[in-house]
Structure 1
Amino acid sequence: MACRSCRRQLALLIRQAATTTEIQNATTIRQLVVAGTPRLDRRRNFSSTPRQLGFKDAMRRVFQRTAEPYKVVQATEDIYKACAREAAYKISEKDRKAGTIPKTTEGEDIGEGSTMWHEDFKLPPTFSTWSQVTMLHMYLAFARLRDLEPDAARSWQQQLVDHFFFDAEAKMDLEHGISSRGLRHKYLKDLFIQWRGVIAAYDEGVTKGDPVLAAAVWRNVFKAREDVDLRYLAAVVSWMRLCLKMLDQIPDEALFIQAQAVYKWPAKNELTLVDKPAKQLEGLGTTPPIHKVAA
């Protein structure tokens, strides 16, 4: 029986092949072979005739189109892995077996995580944190992929989403012990609704301005907690703008190898930029103004 990873790759390739229309419109291999075969009554010639050169070029184009799904699957997998590792966590095997996994006030399993999002932004190492931070990173890639040709953009976006939901289901099973496939699918449907909401919320924020974008980050990533440090929201918004700018500067043909490199710049670095005005005031011996919310 195929392993989970092999089944996942097979499913992705099948979906990619099913959505590829170029191969369906190409001339069949049999027709190309017949057209490229020299007639037997011709003199044998070791040089390539124009007809044979046309056959070779056509065959090369067919194989390039056939290889394209594999190329997209690999590229989107690399991008997805860069997104998913940002808030990675693990559930203790000891706690899982003993049934002593700590819970949040909402009843979520709390795991073990030491990423920047857990330590610098004070987010709990839970499935919810992981999924929201991963979707935040995926959204940035989604926004850049919209610049591709419509068919290519849909193909890339679908593959990226498939990687995420395959991985999410695996985490539900392996990390949280949700063995019921029906229950996992129910949670995946809820997660898909969240994903669609994330796209709409961040699109609105990117379009309407930083306050709206900060509100979207606060609702999704920080679960609308009232005790969230506003510096965190400002830093994440600044980081999102920077990533979108860097992704926009990558040529289409280089997305395969360069897109995931954008995430190497950590969002916590933007805290320095956020704190800069306050430090300048402190250097001048001026106390930063205190903003109070009107009653």
Structure 2
Amino acid sequence: MACRTCRRQLMLLTRQAGSIAEIQNAATAQRLIAPVVGSQSGQRRSFKSTPNQPAINIRETIAKVFQSTAEPYRIINATENIYKTCAREADYTIPDKDRKAGTITKTAEGEDIGEGKTMWHEDFKLAPTFSTWSQITMLHLYLVFARLRDLEPDAARSWQRQLTDHFFFNAEERMDLTHGITSRGLRHRYLKDLFVQWRGVIAAYDEGVIKGDAVLAAAVWRNVFKAREDIDVRSLAAVVSWMRLCLKMLDQIPDEALHYQTEAVFKWRAKNELMLVDKPTRELDGQLVQETPPVQKVAV
């Protein structure tokens, strides 16, 4: 796993390689267009196809050339936008005054507690920590990964690889800038642990999606809610219902529209599913009210 410095160098080399490829492709396109455009006098030539010289569809050739060049950049840009949407769902900050004074509040496990005002912090009562942020980000990434499996194998791997890279580079940056972990060796050790968690999250959620809501709820409880015994079961049910809904909405997006419609799926908040979770209780309460006879007043 490359560090942030190596990533910057890699991105620079990628841009340079892309520029060279564009120049080469442009030169190739020019050689293809030249016979059709005509001579220097500006006269347009017309060629008839012969058995030895089949007609060349110039437009299709040029489109393929530029599509092959632009596709990697389109994937990088699309996955970066999608990742930013996933990463800000449980975003948090560590106040500078607490960091400088060394007065950052800690959890029982020793994690730094910051300040967070997202739905996951306020409505689902999750602490604004790195662990919460990483688990919620991985939860959103998993939903995207599940949809990407419907793509062609090579395309799916490219999208998934870029999303994974965005996550781990951002996680390392957050360790350094937000939590002050300046040791690269220590960061890489934490990143290895995080990678193991990420693989476990994929396996656990896959099992839950296949085997049913009870298994999926158990996976969410272990990962997102850290197997707390004081968890509100309504919140757990709402998250499971929200995951099912997101998977359904992502499945309805055409492949060619994934790069700009995926972000819209996560605008539907998980807390909205609490209304669905509470619906049977409301109906039961209404039924009990209708069946309960009114209290008769006895005259004295």
Are the aligned partners of 2:29 and 2:62 in contact in 1 as well (CA < 8 Å)? yes
Match of 1:46 among 43, 47, 54: 43
Are the aligned partners of 1:33 and 1:55 in contact in 2 as well (CA < 8 Å)? no
CA distance in 2, matches of 1:135, 1:276: 29
Give the CA deviation at 1:43. Answer: 9.0
The verdict on how the C-alpha distance between 1:178 and 1:47 changes in structure 2, with shifts beyond 3 A counting, is same
CA distance in 1, matches of 2:71, 2:32: 25
Counterparts of residues 228-239 of structure 1 (less than 5 Å): 228-239=231-242
The verdict on how the C-alpha distance between 1:268 and 1:28 changes in structure 2, with shifts beyond 3 A counting, is closer
What is the TM-score normalised by the length of structure 1?
0.84
Are the aligned partners of 1:135 and 1:198 in contact in 2 as well (CA < 8 Å)? yes
Match of 2:161 among 142, 158, 163: 158
Are the aligned partners of 1:218 and 1:233 in contact in 2 as well (CA < 8 Å)? yes
Are the aligned partners of 2:90 and 2:136 in contact in 1 as well (CA < 8 Å)? yes
Query: 2:51 is matched with which residue?
Result: none
Are the aligned partners of 1:36 and 1:52 in contact in 2 as well (CA < 8 Å)? no
Match of 1:144 among 143, 147, 151: 147
Are the aligned partners of 1:89 and 1:126 in contact in 2 as well (CA < 8 Å)? yes
Query: What is the number of residues matched between the two proteins?
Result: 274
- Does residue 85 of the first structure (1) align with residue 88 of the second (2)? yes
Give the CA deviation at 1:35. Answer: 5.8
CA distance in 1, matches of 2:91, 2:25: 46
* Gap regions ≥5 residues in structure 1: 287-295
Query: 2:266 is matched with which residue?
Result: 263
Are the aligned partners of 1:13 and 1:73 in contact in 2 as well (CA < 8 Å)? no
CA distance in 2, matches of 1:37, 1:100: 70
Query: 2:211 is matched with which residue?
Result: 208
CA distance in 1, matches of 2:12, 2:223: 28
Deviations 1:244-286 (Å, cap 9, x if unpaired)?
0000000001101101110000000001111111122222337
Query: 1:293 is matched with which residue?
Result: none
- Does residue 125 of the first structure (1) align with residue 156 of the second (2)? no
CA distance in 2, matches of 1:264, 1:31: 44
Give the CA deviation at 1:28. Answer: 7.0
Are the aligned partners of 1:12 and 1:73 in contact in 2 as well (CA < 8 Å)? no
Query: 2:179 is matched with which residue?
Result: 176
Amino acid at match of 1:171: R
Deviations 1:92-112 (Å, cap 9, x if unpaired)?
110000111000000000000
Which one has the largest radius of gyration? 2
Counterparts of residues 46-85 of structure 1 (less than 5 Å): 46-47=43-44, 49=46, 54=57, 57-85=60-88
The verdict on how the C-alpha distance between 1:7 and 1:89 changes in structure 2, with shifts beyond 3 A counting, is same
- Give the alignment's Cα RMSD to 1 decimal: 3.0
What is the TM-score normalised by the length of structure 2?
0.83
Instruction: Please identify, of 55-64 and 77-86, the stretch whose mean Cα deviation from structure 2 is larger.
Output: 55-64
Query: 2:50 is matched with which residue?
Result: none
The verdict on how the C-alpha distance between 1:251 and 1:56 changes in structure 2, with shifts beyond 3 A counting, is closer
Deviations 1:115-143 (Å, cap 9, x if unpaired)?
00001100000000000000000000000
Amino acid at match of 2:43: F
Counterparts of residues 236-247 of structure 1 (less than 5 Å): 236-247=239-250
CA distance in 2, matches of 1:276, 1:5: 52
Give the CA deviation at 1:63. Answer: 1.8
Deviations 1:172-223 (Å, cap 9, x if unpaired)?
0010000011111111111011000000000000000000000000000001
Are the aligned partners of 2:246 and 2:265 in contact in 1 as well (CA < 8 Å)? yes
CA distance in 2, matches of 1:132, 1:211: 19
Instruction: Please identify, of 97-106 and 29-38, the stretch whose mean Cα deviation from structure 2 is larger.
Output: 29-38
Instruction: Please identify, of 273-282 and 176-185, the stretch whose mean Cα deviation from structure 2 is larger.
Output: 273-282
Are the aligned partners of 1:76 and 1:160 in contact in 2 as well (CA < 8 Å)? yes
Amino acid at match of 1:279: R
* Gap regions ≥5 residues in structure 2: 48-53, 290-300
